[in-house]
Chains A and B, each alone.
Chain A
Amino acid sequence: MARGAPSQAAIAGGYAWAVTVAPTVWEHGASIVAVGAALVGLVALLASAAGDRLWGGRGRFVALWVFVLASGLAWLSSPAALRPMRIDAPRGVVGMAGWALFALASAAPALGDRQEPGRVIEDAPLEARNRFARGDAAYPLAGAAVALALQLVGWRVASPERALLVRLVALAAGLAIVGASAEIALARHAPRATRAWRARVRSAGGALLLLAGLALAGVLFASRG
């Protein structure tokens, strides 16, 4: 698949298709016209990304319009699936956002071709400030495992608002864990003479003191039952 502007529109369009068109035709009893139109739309979307190099911008333009019209035909062929009672609010909102992203990515892609290639100065790639050593992959992998474990908790919450909050907290905590594990892995290779271990513990003294206070509070609350 081509990289750049065609891919941006295809990714946004694929998301919009998956959220709004695919559930319509998956439902039991969807007409063959709806299913066919949905599949034609998906193929046209893939063709718009892959065929940009073959047919140029005009071919991509046609393929994107085929995608939009085929999606519209799929909806029109399954009017029962579009009744307000069949579409929940979150799906409607993310579907609207998906189509808006698709429109934006199609009309004004963030990544375009170089406007004036003659003025671009090619240079050597930038040197990374830090690199992972061979055994360091275990750190972010362990962080990713914890982040994954966080995603396994709280899927049977009855209240939608609380379920959303649990997922949000799990995502934020997972990102924090992965980021911290990568920082710890990179810090192992920094010059040791920069700071003595006493200075390190002193710099973390506030956090360690707060942690000790929280531990004490936890013990006190636990002892009270």
Chain B
Amino acid sequence: MHWSDALAIALAVGAGAAFLFGERALAAADDMRAIYWLAVGVVSLQAAVQIAKPGARA
């Protein structure tokens, strides 16, 4: 496995965890924390896909 694949997988796993935290915060009506974690999840997922794609451009 190429190291960039490992980094992409780690970022995707982190995105999943961030989405879970965000959803829990949203359910608990903690909106600021929810927005923070959901933003972390979206950015992590975006970074994971950009790193994994061999021909992608920024």
**Chain A residues packing against B (C-beta within 8 Å):** 143, 146, 149-150, 153-154, 156-157, 159, 162, 165-166, 169-170, 173, 176-177, 180-181, 183-184, 187-188, 190-192, 194-195, 197, 200-208, 210-211, 214-215, 217-218, 221
Contact B38 A188 (CB under 8 A): no
Q: Which among B4, B16, B50, B55 is the interface contact of A207 at CB below 8 angstroms?
A: B50
User: What is the CB-to-nearest-CB distance from A126 to chain B, in angstroms, rounded to a whole number?
Assistant: 21
Cβ contact within 8 Å between A154 and B23:
yes
User: What are the interface flags for B4-48 relative to A under an 8 Å C-beta threshold, 1 for contact and 0 otherwise?
Assistant: 110011001001100110111011010000001011111111111
Q: Contacts A202-B58, A205-B58: A157 and B8 contacting too (C-beta < 8 A)?
A: no
Identify 21 residue pairs between A and B in the complex whose beta-carbon atoms are under 8 Å apart, listed by A's number.
A149-B20, A153-B24, A154-B23, A154-B24, A169-B38, A170-B23, A177-B12, A177-B15, A184-B5, A184-B9, A190-B54, A195-B54, A197-B2, A197-B4, A200-B4, A200-B50, A203-B50, A204-B50, A210-B43, A214-B40, A215-B40
Q: A185: nearest residue on chain B (CB-CB)? A: B52
Among A146, A173, A177, A194, the residue within 8 A (CB) of B54 is A194
10 interchain residue pairs of minimum CB distance: A154-B27, A207-B47, A204-B50, A146-B16, A173-B19, A203-B58, A187-B52, A194-B54, A190-B54, A184-B52
Bound complex: CA of A32 vs CA of B27, how far in Å? 42
Interface contact B58-A206, CB-CB below 8 Å: yes
- Contacting B58 at CB < 8 Å: which of A157, A190, A204, A218? A204
B41 contacts across to A, CB distance below 8 A = 173
Residues B53 and A183 in contact, CB atoms below 8 Å apart: yes
A150 to B17: give the CA distance in the assembly, Å: 9
Q: How far is the CA of A202 from the CA of B56 in the complex (A)?
A: 11
Q: Which residues of B contact A162 (CB under 8 A)?
A: 26-27, 29
Q: Once the chains are docked, how many angstroms separate the CA of A169 from the CA of B25?
A: 12
Contacts of A166 in B (CB 8 A): 23, 26-27
Whether B45 pairs with A180 at a CB distance below 8 angstroms is yes
A218 to chain B, nearest CB (A): 6
- Interface contact B23-A180, CB-CB below 8 Å: no
When distances are taken between beta carbons in the complex, the residues of chain A under 8 Å from B38 are: 169, 173
How far does the alpha carbon of A211 sit from the alpha carbon of B41 in the complex, in Å? Answer: 9
